């Protein structure tokens, strides 16, 4: 029986079939190796792309945190300025109320010189000229308020 198997193995038709099968096997193996290398290269490219995306995401997260801190600082500055504006508005309202109160205290001020309290409040509001400052040109020489006295020029 061994001799019969040996004859079959040595037969030329069997050798051709074995050679073809072996060549097909080698070609399939070469194709699979090539496919494996292509897939490895694709995998490496995708890993590199994933690393770049993660790096970009981290940079964007850092920029977002920085922007949020800037926004928070800006909001604090706005709140501070808002408080300062409210304080100035309250001061202006208090001054206006003081002037109105002084005007109510002196009912007949039209026929009298400007009371000292009102003059003081108006001077605080508009500021006064010091000795070394000159009066602006173009101002009327007549007092606009009745019975007001223009200071003598030096």
pTM given for the model = 0.43
The pLDDT assigned to 18 comes to 83
What per-residue string of b and e applies to 103-113 under the rule 16 or more CB within 10 Å gives b?
eeeeeebeeee
Rama region for 147: left / alpha / beta (φ>0; ψ in -120 to 50; rest) = left
Joined together, the tokens standing for residue 57 give 């995401």
Confidence label for 50 from pLDDT (cuts 50, 70 and 90) = very high
The pLDDT assigned to 132 comes to 47
Measured CA to CA, the distance from residue 60 to residue 54 in angstroms comes to 10
Confidence label for 61 from pLDDT (cuts 50, 70 and 90) = very high
């Amino acid at each position: 029986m061994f001799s019969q198997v040996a004859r079959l193995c040595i037969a030329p038709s069997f050798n051709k079939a074995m050679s073809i099968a072996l060549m097909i096997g080698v070609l399939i193996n070469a194709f699979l190796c090539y496919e494996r290398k292509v897939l490895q290269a694709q995998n490496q490219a995708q890993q590199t792309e994933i690393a770049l995306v993660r790096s970009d995401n981290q940079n964007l997260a850092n920029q977002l945190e920085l922007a949020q801190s800037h926004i928070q600082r800006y909001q604090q500055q706005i709140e501070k300025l808002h408080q300062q504006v409210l304080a100035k508005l309250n001061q202006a309202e208090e001054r206006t109320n003081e002037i109105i109160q002084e005007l109510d205290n002196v009912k007949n001020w039209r026929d009298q010189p400007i009371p000292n309290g009102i003059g003081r409040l108006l001077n605080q509001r508009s500021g006064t000229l010091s000795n070394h400052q000159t009066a602006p040109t173009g101002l009327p020489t007549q007092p606009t308020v009745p019975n007001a006295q223009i200071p003598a020029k030096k």
